[in-house]
Chains A and B, each alone.
Chain A
């Protein structure tokens, strides 16, 4: 007599893994932190996705803009690739996870406010450092150092094809 484990791990039994979905669509927000990575985000965004939203830049509230009772320091707007503006905190709140991209050595300061928004709503933040052609190790290191305190996962990855592979793997 075969043990239950032996039978259940067979190829034949694998066919009976039930075919119902085991997850709901999750909302991914992908945000470029600088102009170079914005070009990558732009390119990736043209592919078909399941509701992932791509943003090319972040802008901050001009002093004295009408608040809505939320933390003033988090007043920031994301611009999507069509040029529409969305409120950062609301976008993060509506997301399941957030991915930020920065090109090695570029100014990545915008991450701190995104991380604050993620913290406020308990969302996990993945950081991707894209080593541009010819970027020095120092530039990559500077970006890693900058992103490290804010992210749960930090990846150094080349270009559009990895960004696409990662987002597909995460069902974005």
Chain B
């Protein structure tokens, strides 16, 4: 459990909050590159960390994330016209470039220099791995670009989606590092989903339903190892990395692409659940990509033209009690992504952690919260740069492997846990 004050502390990410300041130390995914497909395309409204912004791509392909509202009288610039290197407010014609600088105030003589004194707040927007990333912190502290493996491999080896999730970011992230739910909630899918089935590891998952856990700190966050009994004096280890504040990696299965998530706060009651899937050494196959597009694996099907999952709370997640009874799905909801999202949304917009009853095996979650609070405090009090800002911390990889029982996973999986160019993932 957390006390109410602690729960507020870790869940609130608006401007000026301690956790909000922590988030503003990192490059975070803001939108998919496909959302700004060409120069002078329509701008996109983006709300992040409780700030309403507008993503724009200008005539020369420059990207920017600016205050959504016109500095004149507050019209949403989403209605703006994307003209030669700037977006023009449709109300009285003020024009802004991708840095938020006002470049034209038609009612004032150009020579007056009036426009120079008008500037909307803006954040940098960069493209990497099919994702547009932003940094919303102090420009003087801007860190080097992110180097997560999924956004560093060639584009034909990686596939990323996002979906709207209507709850606080933290309950999503906590689901991502809690691998004890997999043998329950997702049990039907281990054997059916095209992006999961057929791996040797699945049999260990299902034959030993009470994994034993180890949690160790890592430079950028945590490594959470879950071990299950395997034959010949070995353990089957599934190792989940968490890179602060919100990157998680799901341990791989067989040669399937490897995947994981970010949960990025929109505001305190909503987040974007980002799902990446990539293979370190080969292009994704057509079958894999079409399965991902079709909402398999950790991805979802969408309400057409949106990033809202097709099964969502307005249609009771297409609950199928018959499938639940027959054991095809454990919760009655179809698809791994929506199984997680539906339960996490059901906790309410912000999970009330004062009422929870954690057990010893929840130490991964306990430790993650502890590290978040500790880092936010160190940042607030001493200006300490938090773990996970340094791109070296991004070069961690999830792993699934068999190890002799007397071997520590951090040692036995040492190489497996490093993202190395041209080296295949370690997986069973």
Contacts and interface: CB of A to CB of B under 8 A. Distances in A.
Q: Do A and B come from one complex?
A: yes
Interface of A: 2-6, 8-11, 13-14, 17, 22-23, 97, 99, 124-126, 141, 144-145, 148-149, 151-158, 161-162, 165-166, 168-171
Given A153-B213, A154-B214, A165-B366, 12 more contacts: A3-B314, A5-B342, A8-B346, A9-B313, A22-B355, A97-B359, A124-B359, A124-B360, A148-B214, A153-B363, A157-B215, A170-B359
A155 B363 contact: yes
B361 interface: yes
B215 A156 contact: yes
B215 A155 contact: yes
Contacts of B1: 168-169, 171
B264 to A, nearest CB: 20
Nearest to B317: A5
A15 to B, nearest CB: 9
Contacts of A125: 360
B316 A4 contact: yes
Interface of chain B, main secondary structure: mixed
A119 to B, nearest CB: 14
A127 B2 CA distance: 21
26 contacts: A2-B314, A5-B316, A5-B317, A8-B346, A9-B166, A9-B345, A11-B269, A11-B348, A14-B348, A97-B360, A148-B214, A152-B210, A153-B212, A153-B213, A153-B360, A153-B363, A154-B214, A154-B215, A155-B216, A156-B215, A165-B370, A166-B367, A168-B1, A169-B2, A171-B1, A171-B357
Interface in B389-424: 405-406, 408, 411
A75 to B, nearest CB: 26
Given A3-B313, A6-B314, A14-B349, A169 B212 contact: no
- Which has the most chain B C-beta neighbours within 10 Å: A9, A14, A141, A151? A9
A17 to B, nearest CB: 6
Interface string B343-387: 001101110100101111111001101100010000000000000
A6 B308 CA distance: 14
A8 to B, nearest CB: 8
Contacts of A151: 212
Task: Categorize the interface residue count of chain B.
Answer: 35 or more
A157 B313 contact: no
B180 to A, nearest CB: 10
Contacts of B342: 5
Contacts of B349: 9-11, 14
Given A17-B352, A145-B406, A169-B366, A156 B316 contact: no
Interface of chain A, main secondary structure: mixed
A149 B227 CA distance: 11
A148 to B, nearest CB: 8
Contacts of B408: 141, 144-145
A142 B167 CA distance: 42
Contacts of B306: none
A126 B360 contact: yes
Contacts of B315: 3
A162 B213 contact: no
Contacts of B374: 161
B367 A22 contact: no
A169 B358 contact: yes
B35 interface: no
B219 interface: no
A165 B345 CA distance: 26
B355 A152 contact: no
Nearest to A15: B348
Interface string B149-185: 0000000000000000011000000000000000000
Contacts of A168: 1, 3
A145 to B, nearest CB: 6
Contact of A5 (B3, B346, B361, B405): B346
A155 B348 contact: no
Given A10-B349, A168-B1, A169-B1, A152 B216 contact: no
B217 interface: yes
Contact of A152 (B3, B213, B316, B357): B213
A157 B355 contact: no
A22 B358 CA distance: 12
A64 B367 CA distance: 45
A157 to B, nearest CB: 7
A10 B167 CA distance: 9
B217 A14 contact: no
A162 B346 contact: no
B362 A169 contact: yes
B212 A152 contact: yes
A135 B60 CA distance: 55
A99 B360 CA distance: 9
Contacts of A145: 406, 408
A100 B78 CA distance: 58
Nearest to B349: A11
B360 A17 contact: no
Contact of A3 (B316, B361, B362): B316
Contacts of B166: 9
